[in-house]
Chains A and B, each alone.
Chain A
Amino acid sequence: MSSQDLERYGRPGGSTHPAQLADVLERVLDKGIVIAGDIQVNLLDIELLTVKLRLLIASADKAKEMGIDWWEGDAFLSRGDGQGRLEERLRRLEEAAGIEEASRRSDK
């Protein structure tokens, strides 16, 4: 489909690869114009749901703060517990084997 050096995804209009969700999220949830100035908007009596909605989903980080964090629990997207424990065990084994000492020596 493409050279190994340069890959192309998510071309609209007859696209063979739908854009990756992460790329879409990064833009649609975190970029693009939001309506500014709640107070002014209220004074002008423009009733915008947006004003409040953007507090909910101002950004992916914000969403996380608000507890919208389903992707964290998704095994595909996040590091599973199993792997985390495995890494921890490996780290302890390495400590016991004096790897930290070895690395300090090599820094000198």
Chain B
Amino acid sequence: MSSSAGAPAGARNGSGWYLYGVVAADAPAQLDAGISVDPAHGVELLAEGPLAALASKVSLEEFDEEHLRERLNDPAWLERNIRAHEQVLERVLASASVVPFRFCTVYRSEAELRRFLSQRGSDLAGVLRRVDGKVELGVKAFVDRERFAAGLGTRSEEARELEARAAGAEGGRAYLEGRRFDQLVAKELERFAAQVVEASHAHLLAAAEEGTLGPLRSPEVSGRSDEMLLNGAYLVRAGGGELEEAVAALARRYAEQGVSFEVTGPWPPYNFVPREVGAA
């Protein structure tokens, strides 16, 4: 199976090394033999000085640039491997601090990977110190528009009036009045959303080491029919519990207005490592 038909000239067969993340060499990192991006090879710890790479061998026929492009357009392949990447890191995260690398970081040889570790050792050690003993939690807030609208009637005179008019009207008139009410809801919701984001992020930051806000996702992507108001990531002490308490307090504060919160993680600290190491 070493020479696949149609492989471009110069395609190097054999294996490379896929890098998931970096841990301290003396960390009690636990590996799960069953999970890796290439089922033929398990994850190993390659120690180089004070650091160790979490890496597994991959077939370059699969992970070579030529072939990877095709693979990336195969949703089943992409999902399986993205999840494998994530699960390898999550497994380690339960017992050690980890610096996560981006999907598909592949070296052609073990020597190249080791050279990277030793040359960028001080940068990587710095990143590792920043995330030592910490994990990332995701916090999202959603609003149920109908519940928000229902609550609006009890808070605003204008809303109450519009709502009553809509209820009292008939036929096309009722439709028009209903739409005017909807427009008021939209305006009020926008104002409310900005307020929730500002207050929530500040409240959550107080319970975390660091935090950052990401882009809002549409219901199609989030998988929830409610509108997303906040998509934050927070770096917290592993097992601390403060952030969860802060989220619960926010959930109580905004429940009446139809807002609910969702916590995900613990994640490897993807949002709290630099984009690049070793920039010139």
B183, A78: Cβ atoms under 8 Å?
A: no
Q: CA of A39 to CA of B278 in the docked complex: distance in angstroms?
A: 11
B179, A28: Cβ atoms under 8 Å?
A: no
A24, B247: Cβ atoms under 8 Å?
A: no
Q: CA of A76 to CA of B79 in the docked complex: distance in angstroms?
A: 15
| Complex interface: chain A residues within 8 A of B241 (CB) | none
Whether a CB of chain A sits under 8 angstroms from the CB of B152 is: no
Q: CA of A40 to CA of B132 in the docked complex: distance in angstroms?
A: 29
- Give 12 CB contacts A-B under 8 Å: A6-B262, A6-B263, A7-B260, A9-B262, A12-B266, A32-B268, A36-B276, A47-B107, A68-B73, A102-B179, A102-B180, A103-B183
Whether a CB of chain B sits under 8 angstroms from the CB of A1 is: no
Whether a CB of chain B sits under 8 angstroms from the CB of A108 is: no
- With contacts A12-B90, A22-B223, A53-B65 taken as known, whether A40 is within 8 angstroms of B278 at the C-beta atoms is yes
B101 shortest CB reach to chain A, Å? 5
Per-residue B-contact encoding for A15-28, CB less than 8 Å = 1, 0 else:
00011111111111
| Complex interface: chain A residues within 8 A of B127 (CB) | 33
A46, B115: Cβ atoms under 8 Å?
A: yes
Size of the chain B interface, CB-CB below 8 angstroms: 77
- With contacts A35-B105, A49-B106 taken as known, whether A28 is within 8 angstroms of B266 at the C-beta atoms is no
Identity of the chain B residue whose Cβ is nearest the Cβ of A5 in the assembled complex: B251
Per-residue B-contact encoding for A57-83, CB less than 8 Å = 1, 0 else:
100000100011011001011110000
Known: A21-B79, A37-B280. 16 other contacts (CB 8 A): A13-B91, A13-B94, A18-B83, A19-B264, A27-B270, A31-B273, A32-B103, A33-B105, A33-B273, A33-B274, A44-B115, A44-B119, A48-B106, A50-B19, A70-B73, A99-B179
Whether a CB of chain A sits under 8 angstroms from the CB of B134 is: no
Q: CA of A24 to CA of B268 in the docked complex: distance in angstroms?
A: 11
Size of the chain A interface, CB-CB below 8 angstroms: 61
A67 shortest CB reach to chain B, Å? 8
| Complex interface: chain B residues within 8 A of A57 (CB) | 72, 102-104
- With contacts A6-B247, A7-B263, A49-B63 taken as known, whether A77 is within 8 angstroms of B119 at the C-beta atoms is no
Whether a CB of chain A sits under 8 angstroms from the CB of B265 is: yes
A49, B16: Cβ atoms under 8 Å?
A: yes
